[in-house]
Amino acid sequence: MHAEKRPLNPEDILKFTCVGDPQLSPGGDKLAYVRQKFDQDTYESKTDIFLMDLQTGTTTQLTNSGKDSSPRWSPAGDRIAFISSRSGRSQIWIIDVSGGEAWHLPTKQEVQGGPVWCPTGTRIFFTASAFSKPGDWVPYPGSPEDDRKRAEDEARRILEKDSKQAKDKDENKRNQVRVITRLRYRFDRIGYFGDLRRQVFYVDVPKTPPASKHTEAVQVTQGDFDHSLPAPSPDGKWIAVEAFRSGDADYVTRSEIWLFDVETNKPYLLYSAPGPVFNLQWSPGGSMIAFYGHDNSRGVSTKHDLYVACLDGRLEAVSQEGKLEPLRADHIQNLTSGTDLHAGMAIGSDISYRGGSTLNWDGRDLYFCAAEQGAAYVYSASRQQAGWELRRLCGSPDVAISGFSASAGKIVLKQSTPVQPENLFLVEVDSSGQTTAPKQLTFDNEQLMDQVKLGAWEKFSYTSSDGQQVDGWLIYPAGFEPTQVKAEPAKYSFPMVVQVHGGPHSAYGSSFEFQAQLFAGRGYAVAYFNPRGSTSYGQDFMDCIDGKWGDKDYLDIMSGVDAVVAKGFIDQSNMFIHGWSYGGYMTTWVVTQTDRFKAACAGAPVTDMYAGYGTSDILWADEQEFGAKPWEDPETLLKSSPLKYVAQVTTPILLMHGENDLRCPVLHTEEFYTGLKRLGKTAVMIRYPGEFHGLSKPIHRIDRYKRLLAWFEYYRCR
């Protein structure tokens, strides 16, 4: 007999294992990846690296410290470099694929991001923070004489993560003041930068474990600028980085691509882009650099495209003449221009580990991820005489791809469906570009999935009130088949939860949504939509809400509710709404505009665009999204602020927020909550100490789900 299946519970997030960051070997015969799990006693996240032989199907656990991530193959395919915090700080470690213990390349710098092999296999590049101020620098004119020393001491404490200082007997004598002079001085999940800059370093890789306890890293990038995305050229002589070295980067929303001579550290401007650039990737022959970016024509609401920069012999000219002529716009090819493809976009799950790559050369072909109509696909771009030919290789509207790795005619996908958590799948590509059906490689969480009941699902489209076509997803209550319900809808009356995604420039897809299945297991239908403002539907669909939040996006959400209700099996007296970030904004906006929902829960919302100006870590995004500055056009900001309409709320609302949120600061929840309480309305505020914008601690995620379920269940029964 089979045991009766149960609903998913909030605590089940601790039982999931997540696979991610797939990395195919250069020969395509082996796969390295990370498996994440949680310690059931301590709730601590554990990550280790696994190795799969794709020819035999055997899997070996390469590391077991629980603190290892970011595996990267050496060019020869005999070693894997990875990042581990087992020594107390993030550092580079090496392990031979043939066996043996991992060994350490200890540097005084704490490594940020993953290791990047030089194609010669003799060096590894990495990014780290450094104090890069010139010798005559002072924090600001008129600062105290010892203020530079204070800044240097602060930088050292940050770099060394000297947590013991908090308990030192001299704690009361330690000056913990923060001196802010930059426009951009903090970032969510990172915190305050201080006076540090991101720089690129490399370490030489010995053939055997070093005897020394310290490895001297060489700093390649210099100057009081941030540098990121290191990409070494195939010959190892150059490192391409993203930076803005032509002025104060805090005041621009575009990037530059710079080349650094690895031996002399001399910088050369390669390309001054009109917008940001992401994910630099050299072609195998070194004649091109591919990257994602956009032209900034619609600010942060600009669709992302895939570009290729053709170097046209420029590197040889540097060797001969000692100078580099920067690329002009006509040297840059936009491979996705004229399409609705949102390049570089993947569709993830709310139970997930890092997706891996979204841009990957494999021989002459460039593989990339792009989203269209709420689904992510892997494409190839092949250079032909007539131009670049794009071919869709993997993906469908029925799955969600969150990353991939490509090598030697093989593609490993990380993908999920609404009823299957993320796993790894293998696709093979022949010389004509034909692909095999995805073959599942990992089978994580199968035992858990056999124990719980999940709701069936469907994707549908509907017409918004002004004629716009919009996509939506519906998760049915567990135990009910769509055909069964649709055949006799009048027999059923399900409560419904509406979920709203963050962003606004993101999108739902056919991914596994833990939160949706929590409700489906308890008899709720769950609906979510991609309203205007969502990505993957083209430029006009994406930017039409700029400066007008709560207008067309609100129409699309409420029209989606109407479309589901029209199916005939929803209990309209028991409808609920929830969202986080922009989804939290829309939740607070919705309850100021309608009383159709029995209860609501808003997580990390934006509620006051006027008072919130300058409090977020993404100032430029806010200016472009909201359409105004408070001293120029306060009415535009207030018009789209839920706080302005707080007196119209009649729906009981639960407000949740991380107290360290630097993206949508907690003041937004405080203002809205205070207004509701001052008006005598039903509201509860939940605050999570130590949390940034997204809740990272498992105990807080569990608490969030418990409170969300209990809140809606309480009002469902009223």
pLDDT value of residue 354: 80
Of residues 274, 187, 261, 252, the one with CA closest to residue 222: 261
Please give the class, per CATH, of domain 223-334: mainly beta
Q: How far, in Å, CA of 368 to CA of 57, rounded?
A: 26
Tell me if 466 sits within 8 A of 555, measured CB to CB. yes
Domain map (residue ranges) of the chain = 223-334, 356-446, 452-716
Q: How far, in Å, CA of 205 to CA of 218, rounded?
A: 12
Q: How far, in Å, CA of 394 to CA of 379, rounded?
A: 7
Tell me if 692 sits within 8 A of 663, measured CB to CB. yes
Give exposure, 156-173, as e/b (b: 16+ Cβ within 10 Å). Answer: eebbeeeeeeeeeeeeee
Q: How far, in Å, CA of 161 to CA of 196, rounded?
A: 13
pLDDT value of residue 165: 45
- Quick one: how far is CA 351 from the chain centroid? 13
Of residues 451, 437, 549, 552, the one with CA closest to residue 503: 549
Q: How far, in Å, CA of 293 to CA of 655, rounded?
A: 35
- Tell me what percent of the chain is helix, strand and coil, each rounded to the nearest 5: 20, 35, 45
pLDDT value of residue 168: 58
Cα distances (angstroms) measured from residue 441 to each of 49, 59, 382, 415, 694: 15, 10, 28, 11, 30
* Bridge partners (DSSP) listed for residue 186: 192
Tell me if 558 sits within 8 A of 594, measured CB to CB. yes
* Segment-wise mean pLDDT, segments of 10 residues, the chain, 718 residues: 88 98 98 97 96 97 97 98 95 94 94 96 97 92 95 88 54 86 93 93 92 87 94 96 90 95 95 96 96 96 97 83 89 96 95 87 95 98 91 97 96 98 97 94 97 98 98 97 91 97 97 98 98 98 96 99 97 98 99 99 97 92 86 94 99 99 98 99 99 96 99 95
- In which element (H, E) is residue 320 found? helix 314-321
Rounded to a whole number, what is the largest CA-CA distance in the chain?
A: 81
Give exposure, 469-497, as e/b (b: 16+ Cβ within 10 Å). Answer: ebbbbbbbbbebeeeebeeeeeebebbbb
Instruction: Assess whether the region 223-334 and the region 452-716 belong to the same CATH fold.
Output: no
Sheet arrangement for strand 196-204: 112-117, 123-131, 196-204, 218-219
Cα distances (angstroms) measured from residue 311 to each of 271, 320, 382, 389, 451: 10, 15, 17, 20, 56
Determine the residue type at 16.
F
DSSP structure string for 406-472: EETTEEEEEEEETTEEEEEEEEEB-TTS-BPPPEE---TTHHHHHHB----EEEEEEE-TTS-EEEE
Give the DSSP letter of residue 171.
G
CA angle, 661 as apex, 421 and 248 as ends, to 5°? 110
Give the DSSP letter of residue 39.
-
CB atoms within 10 A of CB 208: 6
- In which element (H, E) is residue 57 found? none
Cα distances (angstroms) measured from residue 626 to each of 294, 485, 609, 614: 20, 42, 7, 12
Strand ranges, E, within 250-364: 256-261, 267-272, 277-282, 288-293, 305-310, 332-334, 342-343, 359-362
Instruction: Write down the residue that tokens 């002004």 correspond to.
Output: 466
Tell me if 400 sits within 8 A of 415, measured CB to CB. yes
> What would the two tokens of residue 67 be?
């603190």
- In which element (H, E) is residue 157 found? helix 147-160
By the 10 Å C-beta count (0-12 exposed, 13-18 middle, 19+ buried), 185 is classed as: middle
Tell me the whole-structure pTM to 2 decimals.
0.96
Is 492 in a helix, a strand, or coil?
coil
Tell me if 54 sits within 8 A of 97, measured CB to CB. no
CB atoms within 10 A of CB 689: 9
Angle between helices 582-593 and 552-565 (to 10 degrees): 70
Q: How far, in Å, CA of 686 to CA of 669, rounded?
A: 9
> What would the two tokens of residue 420 be?
């299957």
DSSP structure string for 636-676: HHHHT-GGGGGGG--S-EEEEEETT-SSS-THHHHHHHHHH
Three-state SS letters, 571-620:
EEEEEEEEEECHHHHHHHHHHHHCCCCCEEEEECCCCCCCCCCCCCCCHH
End-to-end CA distance of the chain: 38
452-716 maps to CATH 3.40.50.1820: yes
pLDDT value of residue 195: 92
Give exposure, 383-396, as e/b (b: 16+ Cβ within 10 Å). Answer: beeeeeebeebbbe
pLDDT value of residue 1: 52
